[in-house]
């Protein structure tokens, strides 16, 4: 068998038709562009990889503004006029032992994208595996999930949630009702009710913690105002309007208040609207 280094072609080799040969297809037998590739797909000797240029080119933007660069000598750009670097590639430590180097990807992750073609030795890691099957996770605490999946103990509150000391939630005050069975407004007791006379709850005196006679609690019906647009003669909501259309309006306005609001019906014949 001939030496593979002798059989390799130079980069940019051309085929029979004068078209450049696809290096990926020639070396690996496949190309990600497939039929759309602009190079020739043919079998034959492998092609050498083109030499890479590791010479710094241009000025480093970070160095020009701040005179600092986190890449230092590994930066691909020049650091001022005094930068005399000819390459930004760091010299690789020589292997003086004569043994095959260990693949760090396989050792740390348990896999390597090169597989059997890797030039390094695949050795399994001797580190203990954690609960998730990965190496190096034996003594590491598990990450807490939102909602208190783990933890508990002295600092955990009710519901399995984790964390330190929490303020105890105040118990919800029991509802009070007036003589008509309407629940008393709690905001009105504190002087913070912004609805005033239009509030759905009662602002009267409390007679007990349950409706009189054991009846179901009710809400005070909210006062329905007059439709200002109907007064002008141009209510675009028509029969779907939630407000009162004059004194002779026969619609069930209470049902309209509970129903989701609809868009105005702009069809002809529905200008003033209302059943008057």
160-197 pLDDT, tens digit each: 445 555 667 777 777 787 777 778 887 777 777 887 77
d(CA 65, CA 158): 54
Residue 211: left (phi > 0), alpha (psi -120 to 50), or beta?
A: beta
Fill in the DSSP letter of residue 3: -
pLDDT at 3 over 70: no
pLDDT exceeds 50 at position 153: no
- Is residue 28 over pLDDT 50? yes
Q: Which of 244, 225, 234 is nearest to 264 (CA)?
A: 234
| Contacts of 166 by beta carbon, 8 Å cutoff, 6+ apart | 157
pLDDT at 262: 59
Which CA distances in Å does 175 have to 58, 192, 211? 76, 17, 10
Instruction: Name the CA radius of gyration of the chain, rounded.
Output: 41
Average pLDDT over residues 209-214: 63
In degrees rounded to 5, what are phi and psi of residue 182? -90, 135
pTM assigned to the model: 0.30
* pLDDT level of residue 256 (50, 70, 90 thresholds): low
């Amino acid at each position: 068998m001939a030496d593979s280094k002798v059989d390799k072609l130079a980069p940019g080799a051309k085929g029979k038709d004068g078209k450049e040969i696809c290096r990926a297809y020639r070396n690996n037998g496949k190309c990600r562009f497939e039929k759309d590739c602009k190079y020739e797909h043919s079998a034959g000797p492998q092609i050498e990889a083109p030499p890479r240029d590791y010479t710094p080119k241009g000025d480093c933007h970070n160095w020009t503004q701040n005179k600092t660069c986190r890449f230092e000598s590994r930066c691909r750009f020049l650091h001022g006029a005094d930068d005399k670097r000819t390459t930004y590639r760091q010299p690789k430590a020589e292997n003086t032992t004569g043994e095959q180097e260990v693949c760090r990807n396989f050792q740390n992750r348990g896999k390597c994208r090169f597989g059997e073609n890797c030039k390094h030795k695949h050795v399994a890691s001797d580190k203990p595996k954690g609960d998730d099957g990965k190496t190096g996770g034996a003594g590491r605490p598990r990450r807490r999930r939102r909602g208190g999946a783990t933890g508990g103990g002295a600092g955990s509150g009710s519901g399995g949630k984790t964390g330190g000391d929490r303020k105890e939630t105040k118990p919800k005050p029991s509802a009070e009702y007036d003589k008509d069975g309407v629940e008393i407004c709690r905001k009105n007791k504190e002087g913070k009710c912004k609805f005033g006379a239009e509030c759905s709850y009662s602002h009267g005196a409390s007679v007990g913690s349950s409706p009189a006679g054991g009846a179901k609690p009710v809400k005070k019906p909210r006062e329905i105002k007059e439709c200002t647009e109907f007064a002008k003669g141009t209510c675009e909501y028509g029969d779907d309007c939630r407000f009162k259309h004059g004194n002779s309006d026969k619609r069930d306005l209470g049902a309209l208040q509970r129903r989701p609001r609809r868009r105005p019906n702009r069809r002809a014949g529905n200008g003033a609207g209302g059943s008057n």
